[in-house]
Amino acid sequence: MSPAPASSFAPPKPTPVWLGWLTFAFFIFTQIYAVVTSPADAMMGHLQKMMYVHVPAAWVTFAAFGVVLVASLFFLWKDDERADLLAASAAEVGSMFCGLTLVLGMLWGRPTWGVWWSWDARLTSTLVLFLIFVGYLALRSFVEDPHRRGQWSAAVGILGAINVPIVWMSVKWWRTLHQIQSNPRGLSPEYLRGLLLNVAAFTLLTVWFIWKRYEAARLERAAEHASQAAALGGYNG
Amino acid sequence: MGNEMIANGGVEYVAASYIITWVVLGVMLARVVGSVRRARSEYAQASKGEFQT
């Protein structure tokens, strides 16, 4: 076991406040824009408007778990605790969006399929993804040693991220109640604009959430290190 | 049954999905802002040597 580099314990630069305001203002705009400008669909009626929250939430779930994968690999390669803290921040945000995707999918499934839940491949693999990352977060709370915690959670993070392409491809590999991914080229421009704007807004929100959680995690580690240094200084003195 | 709901618009499901999304994002916002504030104050105390372990 090697000590973490001193740079891991330095407090991070604060996240710009304007970025948070801009992100939330853009999110509110895209939500209103999509709901107001998209007409009722011939088949789905107004239920189509659920696409502007369900699809972006699913997209950012995949993106967040992509960050977990890359940061976990980087941690195992370079042994840099900052990568572990970034992976944990992304897992927390990703789990939240994964849970939201499941709930929104159930709300969409009830009026269209007549059931809240079906054990089909897409829904089940998404639930498995959610449980893997809840397990990832639970594991982190059980392990005290930061280095061991980083190694174990990186292993779970990497294995868990393997499920992301399975979730994505599940609608093509198996016969599912869930429809296959819509091709953006097949969508009318009035639906596509709202969808792309909301995907962009959810992505910005995710980046901001992960950044803030990472900032908090770095500050917590810096505080732990400073208090340990103060205690050692007092003991030596 | 599903088709009847679609014909009726399913507006209550749409409204519920947006309300749940905003509530979840609001809770996440409060959580992350709170965690940064708490961590910043912990760090300020620790760096002054006031932190008790």
Q: Per the domain annotation, does B42 fall within a domain?
A: yes
Our count of domains for chain B comes to 1
Report the residue from A11, A53, A223 with minimal CB separation from B51: A223
Range with lowest mean pLDDT among A32-46, A58-72, A86-100, A221-235:
A221-235
B13 to A35: CB separation less than 8 angstroms, yes or no: no
Q: Is residue B5 part of a domain?
A: no
Name chain A contacts of B30, Cβ cutoff 8 Å: none
Report the pLDDT value the prediction gives residue B10, as an integer from 0 to 100.
84
pLDDT of the residue at A109: 92
The verdict on residue B16 lying in a domain is yes
pLDDT of residue A234: 59
- Computed over every residue of chain B, the mean pLDDT equals 83
Q: Number of A:B CB contacts under 8 A?
A: 112
Tokens coding A11: 């407090």
φ, ψ for residue A180, nearest 5 deg: -75, 160
pLDDT tier for residue B53 given thresholds of 50, 70 and 90: very low
The answer to whether residue A125 scores a pLDDT higher than 80 is yes
Kindly give, in sequence order, each residue whose CB lies less than 8 Å from that of residue A97, ignoring residues fewer than 6 positions away.
A57, A58, A60, A61, A64, A202, A206
In terms of residue numbers, what domain contains B37? Answer: 11-52
Does B3 map to a domain?
Answer: no
Mean pLDDT value of segment A128-150: 93
Pairwise CA distance, residues A171 & A175, whole Å? 7
| Model confidence pLDDT, tens digit, residues A148-203 | 999 999 999 999 989 999 998 888 888 777 877 767 777 788 889 999 999 999 99
Interface test with B, best of A33, A96, A219 (most B CBs within 10 A): A219
Cα gap A228→A90, rounded to integer Å = 27
- The tokens describing B17, both together, are 């999905």
Task: Give buried/exposed letters for A4-27 (b at 16+ CB in 10 A, else e).
Answer: beeebbebbeebeeeebeebbeeb
| Cα(A17)–Cα(A114) distance, integer angstroms | 44
For residue B15, being part of any structural domain is answered with yes
Distances (CA, A) of A210 to A7, A112, B28: 20, 34, 11
Residue B41 lies in a domain: yes
**Across residues B24-43, what is the average pLDDT?**
94
Q: What is the pLDDT of residue A156?
A: 95
Residue B1 lies in a domain: no
- Separation between Cα atoms, residue A198 and residue A215, nearest integer Å: 25
Using a CB–CB cutoff of 8 Å, tell me whether B19 touches chain A.
Answer: no
Per-residue model confidence (pLDDT) at position A237: 47
Q: Which residue has the tokens 């003195």?
A: A237
Q: Provide the pLDDT for residue A175.
A: 78
Q: Return the minimum-mean-pLDDT range out of A37-51, A108-122, A174-188.
A: A174-188
Strand partners, A45: A41
The burial class, CB within 10 Å (0-12 / 13-18 / 19+), for A3 is: exposed
In this prediction, residue A225 has a pLDDT band, given cuts at 50, 70 and 90, of confident
